[in-house]
Amino acid sequence: MRPEYIFGIHAATTTLERDSKRVKGMWALKGRADGRMQKLLDLAKAKQIQVEWVSRKELDEMAEEGVHQGVVVACEPIQTKNEQFLDAMLEKLEEPAFLLVLDGVTDPHNLGACLRTADAAGVHAVIAPKDKSAPLNAVASKVACGAAEVVPYVLVTNLARTLKDLQQKGVWITGTAGEADTLIYNADLKGPMALVMGAEGQGMRRLTRENCDFLVKIDMAGEVSSLNVSVATGVCLFEAVRQRKA
């Protein structure tokens, strides 16, 4: 399996701390010896990972023009989860399920940002269809700042069927749509729930929308008609967090 290159101080540190067995190689920028880099080098030494010092050009090539901050780590790809994992996870939960569903989000930057927000909000898993979804690649991992390693990313064959299965397990499906009548702040988000976010522009697909129990929207006061999907995800998830903590 082709290794995946993770770059950036934070992403590299998180990978070494949480899943160092995935690491197959590590490269650092010649001449960089500041405090943040030294902490990472000390961690690599503690994990018995050998570091090779290379030029900026070599790092640029490995990171494919990403902002590597002087470090690149080669890893086995993060493994996505499947329907069986989701079923087993829900069986073990001792609190109301809190799930995020991404329908048609194809940009790895947006996926990474959504994973980071999901981790901060305490979401148990992020679910997406196998087709027309962003890959869990190095770009998504870098933007996620460590969340990609800890928040399960579940890819399902048939999203509509998965939503029906969740409903049968007592999970309420709340979809987001600009034309909805109910504001997110007036919806009940306290019980077992899955929040569905659609792709920017086209929103949720028809079958996805039809399998939602409720549709909600964010109140928009300005001239802009919609938010970036990762920003909208943050607004909705933390409204749910506010209600659930209250």
Binding-site residues, in ranges, read 198, 218, 227
Are the C-beta atoms of residues 113 and 192 closer than 8 Å to each other? no
- For tokens 């999901």, the residue is 118
H or E segment at 58? Answer: helix 56-63
Surface-to-core class of residue 179, CB atoms within 10 Å of its CB (0-12 exposed, 13-18 middle, 19+ buried): exposed
The C-alpha angle 62, 31, 140, rounded to 5 degrees, equals: 30
- Return the number of other C-beta atoms located less than 10 Å from residue 125's C-beta: 20
With beta carbons less than 8 A apart as the criterion, state whether 28 and 52 touch. yes
Are the CB atoms for 23 and 16 separated by under 8 Å? yes
For the record, the structure tokens of 243 come out as 């209600």
Residues paired with 173 in a beta bridge:
194
Q: Which among 101, 91, 98 has a CA at the least distance from the CA of 162?
A: 101
What residue numbers does the annotated binding site for S-adenosyl-L-methionine cover?
A: 198, 218, 227
Distances (CA, A) of 169 to 12, 122, 164, 243: 38, 20, 9, 22
d(CA 211, CA 164): 7
Q: Which residues contact 224 (CB under 8 A, 6 or more apart)?
A: none
